[in-house]
Structure 1
Amino acid sequence: MSVLSFTPHVHVRVNPILTPKPKPKPKLNKLRISSLQTFATPPPQPFFSDPFVLQLADSLPSSSQPLPLQKLRDFSSQTLLSTPWPSRDTQFPNLIFIDGFLKELVLNLSNLPDGVYLGSLLRASDRIMERVSKFIGDFKWGDLFWSINGMGAPDLGVIYVPAGCKVEIPIYLRYFSVEGGNEGSKKLPISNPRVFVLVEEGGEVGIVEEFVGKEGNACYWANPVLEVVIGGGGKVRHSYVQSQSLRAAHIKWTTVRQVNSCYCSWYCC
C-alpha cells in the first residue's frame, strides 16, 4: 500500500497595482480528465474553495488506466473539486458518550431541521419511540460481541430523520474512553455504547463517528454498535475516525438495513 504525503503551503501575494485583477483558475496538472464519460446525473460544478484538496489532487497519479478504473477516476476527479476538506467544527450537532454512557450534553440542536430527533431513547417522544421500537432488537445475524453490547448498553442513542427530510450538516457521534487499566494490570474496563439510526423514506443524513481514548497506554475495551435502518430512497453517509490507546481493544459493529430489503453489515476489530 503506497503512502501519500503532502505538506500544505500558504502563499500570500501582494499586488502593487491598485486595480485588482481576476484570480487565475488553479492549474490541475496531474488531475487530467481524459475521455469524460456521460453520467446519468451531472457531476457537481467545481468551486475550488479548498487549497488542501487541490494540492492533494495535484499529487495524485494520472496515468492511463483500463476503462473501468479510468471511469472511476474521471468521476472522482469531478466530485473531488467540489468537496471541501472534512472539519471537526464544533458547530455541528454532537451526541456524546463517555465510557459507554450517553451524556445529557447534546450540542447545537438548533441546527437540525424540524422533526429530526437526536438524543436518548429513554427521553424520546411517544411517536419516535413507537417508530424505532419496530426495528430495535430484531437483527438476527449478530455475533458474540453484538450480543455483549446489547446486554451491556446502558442506554440507546437515537437519530431519527422523518420522511423527505434532508439534514444538510453532519451529525457527530463522539465516544470517549476515560476509564482504563495500567500496563501490566488485570483491569480492562469495557464500554458498550449503542446508537440506532432511523431514516424514513426519502430522508438524508451524514454521520461521523469519532472514538477518542485515554492518553497514554491505558488498557480498555470499546465495544460499540451502530445500527442503521433506511427507508426507500433514503441516504446515509457515514465516516469513521479512530484515535485510541495502542493497548486498547476496539471491536465495532455497523449494520445497515434498507426497509423491505436485505441487511448489510460491517464488522471491525
Structure 2
Amino acid sequence: MSRCCYPSTSFLPPHHRLRLSPPLSAFKTLTLVPRRPLKSRSLSISASLSPSPSFSDPFVLEIAEKLEDSLPLPPSPIQSLRNTSAQSLLSTAWPNRKSEPFRFTDISYLRKYPIVPTQSHTIPSSLLPLDSSLPIQITLINGVFNPSLSRIPSLPPGAFVGSIKDVPSQGPISEKISSAIASCGEFQEKDVFWDLNNVGVADMVVIYSPAGVKLADTVHMVFCYSGSGKEEEMGMSNPRVLVVAEEEAQVSIVEEHFGVDGAGCYWANPVMEILIGERGKVLHSYLQRQTKDAAHIKWTLVRQEASSTYEHVEVSIGGKLSRHNLHIQQVGPETVTELSTFNLVSESKHIQDLHSKLVLDHPRGYSRQLHKCIVCSSQGHAIFDGNIRVNRFAQNTDAGQQTRSLLLAPQALVTVKPNLQIIADDVKCAHGAAISDLDRNELFYFQARGLDLKTARNALVYYFGADVIRRIPFKTIRERAAAEVKKLLKGSTF
C-alpha cells in the first residue's frame, strides 16, 4: 500500500482525502467494517496487527481532510508532522465532558458552525499592533508568516529568526531544527487539537539561538486572525512556532494573539514548542486578546535541560472559549521554572481555561506558579487545572503553587484543581487556593481615606490582576495588556 486515506463515507465529499506519502507501517491490512448504520456517523477500523478495533470520529476526520486539502506541499519537517498526526487522527475521538482533561471545559462551541480553513493571509498593516520599540517583529496572518509586515535585523552568527521555508536546506541549523521537530513529534500527551495543528500547519516560525549566543533583542510575534468571511462558518488557523535555545543561549519572546474588528467567529489553534539547553534561558510573555466570538485553544510544550531557566507570564482576557495547555518537563537537575498567569472573564457564558503540567524528574529543581483569575460576568467560567509532579529522583525539589480567584457576579463560576503529586521524599513543596469576593476590610480601608465604594472596588479589582501584568518585562506590551484589562473591566458591572 503506497498511501493511506481517511475512511471514505457517504456523508463526506468524495474529493476529501488525506494523502500520506509513507504507508501505515503498523498495519498490514486496513479494512473498513461498518458497525452501525451510516446515519450514526460511526465506522470501525480493524487491522491484522491490532489487538482490538479502533474507532474513527467522522467529525475529526472531516476537519482534518478539509485542512489537508487546503494546503500546499510543505517542507519535509512539516510533512513528517502531518504524516504522524494523520495516522493518529484515524483513531482519535473528539473530546467530551466524560474525558478527564475536558471534564470541566465545555468545548461544544466548536461544533456550532461548520469548520473551514481560513484562506485569507492579507490584513492591512494599520490594523496590526506593530511595535517599533521591539526591533525583531514577526507577523503571522492566520498562521502564515508575512515577510512584508515583519522586521528581522541582522542577527548574531548562527542565529535564525523567520519562516522554516527560509532555513538553509543544508548545514548545522537545518539539522538541529529537523532534530528538534522530530523530538517534539514524539510528544506522548498530545490531544486532538495538537494533531489537528500538525495536519493543518501551513507554515512554521523558527527562533534559533546557538550555543553561547544571547539574542539581545526581544522577538515580538504578532498573531493576527480573521474569520472565513461567512457568518455561518468558523474559520480555523493553525500557527506553529519552534523556539530552540541551545547551551548557555538566551532568548526573549513575546507572543500577542488578537482578531481584527469584524472577524466574527473563528478558531485559533496555535502550538508553540520551546527547547532549552543546559544553562539556557527563555523569557516568554503571552498576551491573548481575541475577539468576543473567537475560540482560542493553545498548546505550549517546554523542555528544560540541566540548570536552565524558563519564565512565563501570561495574560489571557479574550475569546468566547479560551484554553491553554501548558506542559513543561524538567529533564535535568537544578532547573528553574516560574509561571505567572492572569485570566479575565468579562462576558456572559465565556470560558477561560488553563491546564498546566510540570514534571520534575531530577534533583534540586525549583518552580513557582501563580495563577489569578477574575470572573465578573454572569455565568462566566474560569478553570484552573494545575499539576506539579515530583518524581522519585527529584530530591531536594522546591515547588510552590498558588491560585487566587475573584467572583464578582451572580452565577459566576470558578473551577480550580491545584495538585501536587510527590513521590520523592526529600522535598519542600506547598500549594494553596482561595476563591472569594473582595475583602471588606480592604474596601473599608479605601473608604476611610475618602474614596467612594465604586472607586474602591474598581481599584482593588484592577490591581488584583495587575500583580501579574506588571511581571511582563516589556513596557509596551505591559501597557497594552493593562489598557485592555481596564477597558474590559470598565464595561462590566460588579
**Matched length:** 180
Write the distance in 2 (CA, Å) between the matches of 1:180 and 1:89.
30
What code does the residue aligned with 2:177 have? V
Which of 158, 171, 177 is matched with 1:132 structurally?
177
Match status 1:245 vs 2:291: yes
Instruction: Tell me the residue number matched to 2:275.
Output: 229
Write the distance in 1 (CA, Å) between the matches of 2:159 and 2:249.
10
Change (3 A) 1:259 1:122: farther
Write the distance in 2 (CA, Å) between the matches of 1:232 and 1:149.
29
Please, which runs of 5 or more residues in structure 1 have no aligned partner?
1-86
What code does the residue aligned with 2:254 have? V
RMSD: 2.5
1:240-265, CA deviations, whole angstroms, 9 ceiling, x for partnerless residues? 1122110000001111012479x617
Instruction: Tell me the residue number matched to 1:143.
Output: 191
Instruction: Tell me the residue number matched to 2:247.
Output: 201
Match status 1:158 vs 2:222: no
Change (3 A) 1:254 1:193: same
SS of aligned partner of 1:163: coil
Q: How does 1:206-217 map to 2 (within 5 A)?
A: 206-216=252-262
Higher relative contact order (CA 8 A, sep 6+): 1
Change (3 A) 1:102 1:110: closer
1:183-241, CA deviations, whole angstroms, 9 ceiling, x for partnerless residues? xx320000000001111100001000011202146110000011011110000000011
SS of aligned partner of 2:212: coil
Contact 2:234 2:266 in 1 (8 A): yes
Match status 1:113 vs 2:156: yes
Q: How does 1:1-269 map to 2 (within 5 A)?
A: 88-105=131-148, 107-110=150-153, 112-125=155-168, 126=170, 127-136=172-181, 137-180=185-228, 185-216=231-262, 218-259=264-305, 264=328, 267=355
What code does the residue aligned with 1:204 have? Q
Write the distance in 1 (CA, Å) between the matches of 2:133 and 2:262.
25
Q: CA deviation at 1:106?
A: 6.5
Change (3 A) 1:106 1:112: farther
State TM-score, norm by structure 2: 0.34
Higher strand share: 2
Write the distance in 2 (CA, Å) between the matches of 1:172 and 1:111.
15
SS of aligned partner of 2:176: helix
Write the distance in 2 (CA, Å) between the matches of 1:148 and 1:162.
30
Write the distance in 2 (CA, Å) between the matches of 1:267 and 1:224.
15
Contact 2:134 2:218 in 1 (8 A): no
Change (3 A) 1:232 1:149: same
Contact 1:163 1:201 in 2 (8 A): yes
Contact 2:225 2:263 in 1 (8 A): no
What code does the residue aligned with 1:236 have? V
Please, which runs of 5 or more residues in structure 2 have no aligned partner?
1-129, 308-326, 330-353, 357-382, 384-494
Same amino acid, percent of matched pairs: 39
State TM-score, norm by structure 1: 0.61
Contact 1:220 1:247 in 2 (8 A): yes
Write the distance in 2 (CA, Å) between the matches of 1:221 and 1:114.
38
Deviates more, 1:105-114 or 1:150-159: 105-114
Instruction: Tell me the residue number matched to 2:388.
Output: none
What code does the residue aligned with 2:290 have? Q
Contact 1:252 1:267 in 2 (8 A): no
Contact 2:279 2:305 in 1 (8 A): no
What code does the residue aligned with 1:140 have? Q
Q: CA deviation at 1:115?
A: 2.0
Runs (4+) of structure 1 moved beyond 3 Å? 87-91, 105-108, 265-269
Write the distance in 2 (CA, Å) between the matches of 1:255 and 1:105.
29
What code does the residue aligned with 2:174 have? M
